[in-house]
């Protein structure tokens, strides 16, 4: 079975749109959503829509490609034998979804031998869909997109996010206090995949966050990179749970150096 990125993207996009329609309809059908479970803390929630959407996504992917593996936020890892695995976040921005904020996404990425080659991020509330394949550029609703040309940190619009653990949030707030005076402004929207896509589309000049998991990042990071962003960690590390930074090239060095000095990849000063 082919592992050609374009074919993998077609399957990912079709599946993301179907899952997105389901979670949108479920959200619109009720005034308030119920919390089905919690994860790392009482504020880190799962709704029944998260689990239903991941089940749908797994069914569609494995029906089309039964030998592939899947890594999903809700149901963990299913081993495969094809060399292709899928990294799935059925609802990125679950707290936004819970509160009726129209900023959440279905995120699906395809990896071949551990390398992300295709990704889609679909916002069911807005209908917007970001896509990319390795070496093929990045697109928003079929239109090619690229990062900004911002080359002054003082003019940079920077996105970020916060963890659920209270100690980590306090540390992240301390970093933010030092960052606010030296950039244009800060935005915190609550869905990492959409923040990465915002960098790709030029809606943010940069975005950073500590504590992200593979399903938060896989599709959005590819989209940002294919739009021309630099996606990196700190202190020479690859982007990962310690920190993910996605930035327009013109400000990445200065912003990375500042985040390193502030210890943005640590939970203690």
Reply yes or no on whether the pLDDT at 42 is more than 60: no
Same domain, 132 and 170: no
| Enclosing domain of residue 46 | 5-144
Q: Mean pLDDT highest for which of 28-32, 38-42, 75-79, 236-240?
A: 236-240
Same domain, 40 and 116: yes
Residue 84 lies in a domain: yes
Lowest mean pLDDT among 32-46, 92-106, 227-241: 32-46
Same domain, 130 and 182: no
Please state, in angstroms and rounded to a whole number, the distance separating the CA atoms of residues 52 and 1. Answer: 27
Same domain, 128 and 192: no
Q: What are phi and psi of 170, to 5 degrees?
A: -65, -40
**Of 144, 177, 207, which residue sits at a domain end?**
144
Residue 103: closest CA among 115, 95, 111: 95
Residue 269 lies in a domain: no
Half-sphere exposure of 164 (CA within 13 A, CB side): 12
| Cα three-residue angle 104-73-79, rounded to 5 degrees | 140
pLDDT in tens, 176-186: 999 999 999 99
**Under a CB-based contact definition with an 8 Å cutoff, are residues 64 and 74 in contact?**
no
Q: Structural domain tally of the chain?
A: 2
pLDDT in tens, 210-243: 999 999 999 999 999 999 999 999 999 999 999 9
| Cα three-residue angle 89-123-52, rounded to 5 degrees | 45
pTM listed for this prediction: 0.95
Residues 6+ apart with CB under 8 A from 48: 26, 34, 36
């Amino acid at each position: 079975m082919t592992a050609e990125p374009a074919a993998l993207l077609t399957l990912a996009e079709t599946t993301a749109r179907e899952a997105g329609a389901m979670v949108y309809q479920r959200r619109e059908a009720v005034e308030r959503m119920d919390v089905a479970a919690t994860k790392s803390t009482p504020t880190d929630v799962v709704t029944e829509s998260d689990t239903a959407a991941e089940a749908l996504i797994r069914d569609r992917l494995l029906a089309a490609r039964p030998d592939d593996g899947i890594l999903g936020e809700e149901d963990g890892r299913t081993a495969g034998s094809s060399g292709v695995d899928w990294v799935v976040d059925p609802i990125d921005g679950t707290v936004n979804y819970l509160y009726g904020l129209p900023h959440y996404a279905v995120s699906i990425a395809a990896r071949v031998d551990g390398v992300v080659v295709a990704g889609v991020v679909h916002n069911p509330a807005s209908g917007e869909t970001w896509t990319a394949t390795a070496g093929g550029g990045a697109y928003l609703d079929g239109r090619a997109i690229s990062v900004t040309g911002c080359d002054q940190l003082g003019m940079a619009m920077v996105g970020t996010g916060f963890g659920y653990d209270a100690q980590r949030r306090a540390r992240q707030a301390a970093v933010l206090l030092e960052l606010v005076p030296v950039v244009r402004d800060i935005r915190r929207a609550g869905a990492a995949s959409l923040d990465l896509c915002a960098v790709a589309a030029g809606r943010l000049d940069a975005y950073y966050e500590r504590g992200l998991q593979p399903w938060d990042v896989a599709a959005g990071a590819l989209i940002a990179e294919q739009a021309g962003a630099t996606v990196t960690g700190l202190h020479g590390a690859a982007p990962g749970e310690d920190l993910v930074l996605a930035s327009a090239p013109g400000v990445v060095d200065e912003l990375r150096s500042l985040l390193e000095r502030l210890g943005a990849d640590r939970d203690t000063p």
